[in-house]
């Protein structure tokens, strides 16, 4: 079965919104505050929670993916939230 990208009921391709966590380093300025520019020191890791959003009509869906086989880590649409 060929993979199909998750689509909204309105037919628009859905996008994934999720938190990505990484550590950053910031220099401390003379006034004691941190500089705006930070340097990322670890790779971004994906948190467990996220959702699929439709940028056209605003619908939000849960997503799922398989961990094994040919379909592994391919996003699939689940229940509407």
Those residues whose C-beta lies under 8 Å from the C-beta of residue 81, and which sit 6 or more positions away, are 51, 60, 61, 62
Comparing CB distances to Zn ion, the nearer of 39 and 56 is 56
Cα–Cα distance measured from residue 39 to residue 26, given in angstroms and rounded to the nearest whole number: 7
Q: Is 52 in the site for Zn ion (CB under 5 A)?
A: no
Out of 46, 56, 71, 80, the residue judged to bind Zn ion by CB under 5 A = 56
Comparing CB distances to Zn ion, the nearer of 42 and 55 is 55
Stretch that binds Zn ion, among 11-19, 20-28, 30-38, 72-80 (CB under 5 A): 11-19
Instruction: Find the shortest distance in angstroms from Cβ 26 to Zn ion.
Output: 39
**Dihedral angle computed from the Cα positions of residues 9, 11, 12 and 16, in that order, rounded to the nearest 10 degrees:** 40
Residue for token pair 């910031």 = 26
Binding stretches for Zn ion (CB under 5 A): 8, 10, 12, 54, 56-57, 59
């Amino acid at each position: 079965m060929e993979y199909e990208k998750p689509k909204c009921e309105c037919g628009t391709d859905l996008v994934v919104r999720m938190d990505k966590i990484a550590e950053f380093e910031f220099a401390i300025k003379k006034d004691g505050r941190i500089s705006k520019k930070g340097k990322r020191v670890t790779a971004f890791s994906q948190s467990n929670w996220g959702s699929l959003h439709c940028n056209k009509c605003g619908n939000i869906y849960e997503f799922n993916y398989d961990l094994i086989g040919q379909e592994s880590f391919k996003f699939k649409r689940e229940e509407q939230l």
